[in-house]
């Protein structure tokens, strides 16, 4: 179970519903659209057209190749995939898990309100949970609750394996949001060649702007190991240098494959951040 109370989850849910309307007012949805299925008309085949669109009955009657033209399908397929393990715990709690739940819930409500097809996928060490492709509020709220309630302390997720599994799972071209804390490098190149991908990194504010902690006992939230460390300014500078180097490598990867990305801290306004991303 999450360390947060049911009352806190209820307030998070109410906030997500309110924030969803703020997000929609910012026209956050991608320009990605799947191929439509509504018949619009016929025209002569031109070099470069997809031969699968040829209407063979009309072609035979007129003795010239004609293709079907289709209306653009305005319905998006939106997938929110959350990569979750013990690393979401930082200091005394799992505020990053709370933030992932909030953002995923906002995106789910926005998808449902826009009449788009939504799918939520949760990857943990011991389970893969997925909603069906849906427009039903029930599935979105069940996805949100499972995110909130997932017990992930002392677990480690193979994130690359999760991304590879997602690639095989999602067949229809989609707008895919990957939610994680971004503390391990993941290769999204295959996913980005098939879909439009948005990487949302959730960090605790103290992770990216730590104070001087002094003598501290650290516990690895992925395996429970403990170690004593003294954190002075020099140690913090070394930590930040390594974190920056890691993030630069990951962002270079995003740039190569045209993957939109943003880092949101646990203290940030989620909607303002998402609107900035799609600005």
Summarised one tens digit per residue, pLDDT across range 220-248 is: 888 888 888 787 888 889 989 999 999 99
Sequence-separated (6 or more) residues with CB below 8 Å from residue 119:
77, 78, 79, 80, 130, 131, 132, 133, 134, 170, 174
Average pLDDT over residues 87-106: 90
Centroid of chain to Cα 38:
30
Structure tokens at 43: 């025209």
Q: What are φ and ψ of residue 60, in 5° steps?
A: -70, -40
pTM, whole model, 2 decimals? 0.79
Cα separation, 262 vs 159, whole angstroms: 18
Average pLDDT over residues 25-36: 44
Confidence of residue 209 (pLDDT cuts 50, 70, 90): confident
Domains of the chain, CATH where assigned: 6-30+75-277 (3.40.50.410), 39-70 (no CATH)
- Residue in 262, 239, 266, 238 with CA at minimum distance from that of residue 251: 262
Confidence of residue 36 (pLDDT cuts 50, 70, 90): very low
pLDDT at 211: 77
pLDDT at 9: 55
Structure tokens at 70: 């289709």
| pLDDT tens string 143-194 | 999 999 999 999 999 999 999 999 999 998 889 999 999 999 999 999 998 8
């Amino acid at each position: 179970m999450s360390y947060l109370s049911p009352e806190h989850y209820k307030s998070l849910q109410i906030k997500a519903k309110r924030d969803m309307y703020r997000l929609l007012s910012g026209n956050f949805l991608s320009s990605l659209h799947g191929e439509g299925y509504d018949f619009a008309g016929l025209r002569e085949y031109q070099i470069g057209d997809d031969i699968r669109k040829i209407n063979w009955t009309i072609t035979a009657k007129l003795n010239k190749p004609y293709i079907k033209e289709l209306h653009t399908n305005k319905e998006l397929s939106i997938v929110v995939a959350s990569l979750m393990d013990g690393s979401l715990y930082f200091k005394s709690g799992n505020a990053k898990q709370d933030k992932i739940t909030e953002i995923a819930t906002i995106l789910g409500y926005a998808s449902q309100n826009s009449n788009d097809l939504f799918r939520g996928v949760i990857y943990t060490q011991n389970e893969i949970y997925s909603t069906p492709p849906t427009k039903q509020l029930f599935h979105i709220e069940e996805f949100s609750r499972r995110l909130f309630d997932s017990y992930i302390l002392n677990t480690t997720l193979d994130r690359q394996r999760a991304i590879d599994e997602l690639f095989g799972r999602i067949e229809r071209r989609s707008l895919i949001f990957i939610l994680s804390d971004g503390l391990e490098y993941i290769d999204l190149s295959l996913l980005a060649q098939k879909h439009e991908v948005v990487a949302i990194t959730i960090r605790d504010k103290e992770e990216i702007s730590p104070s001087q902690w002094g003598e501290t006992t650290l516990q690895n939230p992925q395996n429970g190991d403990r170690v004593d460390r003294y954190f002075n300014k020099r140690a913090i500078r070394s930590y930040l240098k390594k974190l920056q180097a890691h993030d630069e490598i990951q962002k270079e990867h995003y740039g190569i494959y045209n993957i939109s990305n943003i880092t949101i801290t646990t203290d940030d306004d989620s909607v303002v951040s998402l609107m900035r991303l799609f600005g």
